[in-house]
Amino acid sequence: MKISSLTPVDFRPTLRAARVNPPESRAVQEPADQITLSALPASGDLRRAGAGAGAQAAAASAGLAGLAMEQPLRMLLIGPPGSGKGTQAEIVDQFFEVPHISTGQILRNEIQQQTELGKAAEEYVKAGKMVPDSIMLPMVDNRLEKEDSFILDGFPRSIAQAQHLDATLSRLNKPLTCVETLEVSDETVVKRLKERGREDDTEEVIRARLKIYHEQTEPVMAHYQEQGLLDHIPAEGKVPEVGFYLVTCLNKRV
Ligand code: ADP
């Protein structure tokens, strides 16, 4: 299934199934080709998660009226380059209508527009290196101040960034709901990114990004594991299959 065709409407039969099958009977570990999405959230779960208008529309057309925003979803999405963070953030957004903040995308936009920030970041992004925290931290803080709920993708990428983020969210009184990590092997990453062919997707730059990921970003997982916020999502499979695991995990968190 193409991501562009994956809309909340695709999950309508699921929401119906969710009413018929009590949550306890819904298996999570279904093999990929048998996934019927029957284990996706029931209406009450969506309501608690603060399902937005899109998810509400899907639920309403499945006969589940009355969903309302109650609790903001604030999640971090961590994973190596090519693990599908942007694609999966889009799926979560379809359900929960949560703003997707991608630091990589913000930087690419700034570079394209040749803003001061973009010019300062350009060399680093092209080489697959970390953009300095003197640029990253104010950029992220500025955005988080404006959002009550969010999917943050691409940040934090180091323990220093994680500590800064914790302090910012504590100051803003916006505690995290969860941290989801997408797990794929290095071989899969290299294969996928070469096919994608973004400017920073040459083999040399991919290897540089992977090295940074293993050395600096992976320790961030332990940081959030200690806080009891971490979920591991197997991400080698197809897009809807990974999305299925992710939404199922989110449902347990909200
Ligand atoms: P990927 O996860 O595929 O590497 P991203 O779009 O997340 O792609 O990031 C692209 C580039 O943007 C990174 O290689 C890095 O140069 C820069 N970047 C993004 N987020 C951060 C961050 N939190 N800290 C430092 N640099 C960052």
- In the chain the domains, ranked by start, together with CATH numbers, are 12-99+147-253 (3.40.50.300), 103-146 (no CATH)
Is the C-beta atom of 91 inside 6 A of ligand 1?
A: no
Atom of ligand 1 nearest to the CA of 212: 14
Helix (H) and strand (E) counts in the chain: 12, 5
Distance CA 135, CA 182 (A): 26
Token pair, residue 234, equals: 């197997």
Return the pLDDT at 197: 87
Return the pLDDT at 95: 87
Distance CA 56, CA 236 (A): 30
* pTM of the predicted structure, to 2 decimals: 0.78
Distance CA 173, CA 18 (A): 34
Is the C-beta atom of 210 inside 6 A of ligand 1?
A: no
By most ligand atoms within 8 Å of CB, the mutation choice from 122, 183, 200 for ligand 1 is 200
Return the pLDDT at 89: 96
The four Cα atoms 71, 76, 79, 83 give a dihedral, to 10 degrees, of: 40
Q: Mark the ranges of the chain whose per-residue pLDDT is less than 50.
A: 1-52, 54-69
Query: What SS3 state is found at 215?
Result: helix
Return the pLDDT at 70: 62
Beta bridge partners of 62: none
